[in-house]
Amino acid sequence: MREVVSRFHRDLPPARLWCYGGSSPGPTIETRSGQGLFIDWPNELPARHFLPIDHSLHGAEASVPEVRGIVHVHGAKAPPESDGYPEDWYLPGKSRTYYYPNRQEPAALWYHDHTMGINRLNIYAGMFGLFLVRDKVEDALNLPSGRFEIPLAICDRSLRQDGQLDYPVSGDPAHPWVPEAFGEVMVVNGKAFPFLDVEARKYRFRVLNAANGRFFRLSLSNGRSFHQIGTDQGLLPAPVELERTMLAPAERADLVVDFSGHVGEKIVLKNDSFDMMQFRVGPAQSPDTSVLPAMLRPVPKMLESSATKTRPLALIERMTLKGESMTMLLNNTPWHAPVTENPALDSTEIWSFINTTDDSHPIHLHLVRFQILDRRNFETFAYQTTGRIQYTGPVVPPAPEESGWKDTVRAHPKMITRIIVRFEGYVGRYVWHCHVLEHEDNEMMRPYDVIPAPAC
Ligand code: C2O
Ligand code: CU
């Protein structure tokens, strides 16, 4: 973890960034399924933070050191002591060696900071990178690879006139926290509005939404479709042809885009009507021998009947008297309250997110992968006053491009979103939280325990 300077654009002065290695995003780590990996994560950050800390947030009090770091590999099935628990932060000059067994299917994971109370600032400063897991089964599919497989870490940032990062603050100097941070500059792999020279052939893009709070709805300027072949935790059963795909913070999409037949064109990757980046299509240098297979990898559907427990979990927003957002809570419970979610190892549960707020919250569970069961509108006022659930709409199944293994799910406003999850791998303490980083840093995060399986 260190400070570097880097330009977001050739016409801007160099900006101060915090990152892993020498760049933001940090190096893309490539691993094989089942091949364990040790990583040292030395904290070599400077002594002072350069973004506005809110000392009124839990875990970021004035008595706590300003500059702290702890890394989490998002989507990794890692033992608890290597998972990057938010309170396990350490200071500049210190390091941690973490072990990643990688006993999981191929997927585009990502690593990022997870420090209690300043997570949103450290990630905004640039502390994230990709972590790809591969295996023989995926190799055999012959998807576009090598220089035709490209990670795209997308986010938005606010930049000052002098090219430096700007992080928004509220009007209240004692409580600078804001409920959402959006920037006007679209950044892909650390560059503002970049271009990429591509050949007229198929490419595989491993897209990550690394933004603090922005949801991206991606499409191509020529209106052409593309194929989504994977989601957070790996390949879909079969490619899904789409004209747009949605990514909430922390979600990933594995896309195959075919540029053949477009030589000489400039195709823009868009977020709704905003430009993200440009592809400049040149002739193919060699024949395209990669394939887009009809079938990718089976995703056995998890049956509701396999769940031994259903947990209703309310997502709640508290307002000030002036109607400003004060904090968002999971199950109306702050971070420091005793653990309430304690699934047994190797048990399957349904987690039912009852979203009473007006926002979509991307909910992430550490350690596990899950499937989305469904979403359904409900009467929020009746729920808030009586605790009773009254459905007001039909059961909505997940979209085809969400129907694979996930680790982050969009819990839509005024809907109940249900996931089914098996708690596999390790016993110990993990966390679950909203991945809008401003929410996560202000109490929308809870510890959970995987407890030993009961003896039979
Ligand atoms: Cu992307 Cu708790 O993590
Ligand atoms: Cu949220």
CA distance to 84, 89, 421, per residue, from 370 (Å): 20, 28, 5
Confidence of residue 83 (pLDDT cuts 50, 70, 90): very high
Question: Does ligand 1 come within 6 angstroms of the Cβ of 74?
Answer: yes
What is the reported pLDDT for 454? 85
Q: Tell me the per-residue pLDDT of 363-397, one tens digit each, with 9 for 90 and over.
A: 999 999 999 999 999 999 999 999 999 999 999 99
Place of tokens 């690593």: 111
Atom of ligand 1 nearest to the CA of 250: 1
Q: 173: pLDDT confidence band, cut at 50, 70 and 90?
A: very high
pTM of the model as a whole: 0.97
The pairs formed by 138-143 with CB atoms below 8 angstroms and a separation of 24 or more are 138/106, 138/235, 138/297, 141/291, 141/293, 141/296, 142/289, 142/290, 142/291, 142/293, 143/204, 143/229, 143/256, 143/290, 143/291, 143/292, 143/293
For residue 402, give the nearest of 159, 231, 174, 212 by alpha carbon: 231
- Residues near 294 by beta carbon (within 8 Å), at least 6 away in sequence: 238, 239
Between the CA of 322 and the centroid of ligand 1 the distance, in Å, is 31
What distance in Å separates the CA atoms of residue 237 and residue 405, rounded to the nearest whole number? 10
Q: Comparing C-alpha atoms, which of 82, 79, 59 is closest to residue 71? A: 82
Q: Which residue puts its alpha carbon closest to atom 3 of ligand 1?
A: 74
The count of other CB atoms within 10 Å of the CB of residue 312 is 14
Nearest ligand 1 atom, CA 74: 1
Q: Is the CB of 364 under 6 A from ligand 1?
A: yes
In this model, does residue 456 exceed pLDDT 80? no
Which ligand does the CA of 112 lie closest to? 1
Nearest atom (ligand 1) to Cα of 440: 2
pLDDT digits 0-9 by tens, 221-250: 989 999 999 999 999 999 999 999 999 999
CA of residue 290 relative to chain centroid, distance: 28
Neighbours of ion ligand 2 (CB under 5 A): 361, 434, 436, 439
pLDDT of residue 103: 98
84 CA: nearest ligand 1 atom: 2
| Mean pLDDT rounded to a whole number for the chain | 97
| C-alpha to C-alpha distance for 37 and 101, rounded to whole angstroms | 6
120 lines ligand 1 (CB under 6 A): no
Q: Tell me: pLDDT of 314 over 90.
A: yes
